[in-house]
Structure 1
């Protein structure tokens, strides 16, 4: 997996925008204004993704390349080290999981607006 694939995949999801709110090196993906993924554009050494707290702990125990969220809530975020040891399929699943968690937490109005997007 490379940053182009990651970017294209995130942008293919409904209601997603990309921003650089923390400076020109940190690429942030949001759904309806809420962050679900971020990475360093220069190195692409890791991806931060939101995760269910119980699942987050299990993933960290199972995979050496999954750590508690770097500069994020350690309870709700994981950092996936992009060292080639995680399968593309697992990374895709975890991106989807992060997106779904954020959508689930949106306000009723934001969910309605998201559903209106073609």
Structure 2
């Protein structure tokens, strides 16, 4: 990946995060206990994208703000957004999106599971 080469390390630095490669999607997924929060892959033309879960209103705001952010490619368009890696979205915005996505997934776990993840 050319532009956001820090994404792998950044995602894996999150508590409880790991990654796998989904062959049939040709995509690397970042997960917490099997729940995906970021995916690196491509669109139907093979253009590299990062797909990230966001709060729906923040996602709409980002899509209005940046032409290189679209509704989640092949995902629930309400909750997921895809960022074109070759586009002009600043690193800080992508980091903010990743942080939000991680928190949305993390907070979907029970308090007990959250405590276990933090202590892993």
78-87 vs 1-10, which moves further = 1-10
1:92 corresponding residue in structure 2: 95
Alpha-carbon RMSD across the aligned residues, in angstroms, is 2.0
Pair 1:28 & 2:23 matched: no
- Alignment size in residue pairs: 116
Deviation per residue, 1:11-62 (Å, 9 max, x gap) = 1111001012353721000012210000128x67110000001111111111
> Structure 1, unaligned stretches of length 5 or more?
none
> Structure 2, unaligned stretches of length 5 or more?
none
TM-score w.r.t. the length of structure 1 is: 0.87
Runs of at least 4 residues off by over 3 Å: 1-4, 21-24
TM-score w.r.t. the length of structure 2 is: 0.86
CA contact (8 A) 1:3 1:44 kept: no
CA contact (8 A) 1:67 1:78 kept: yes
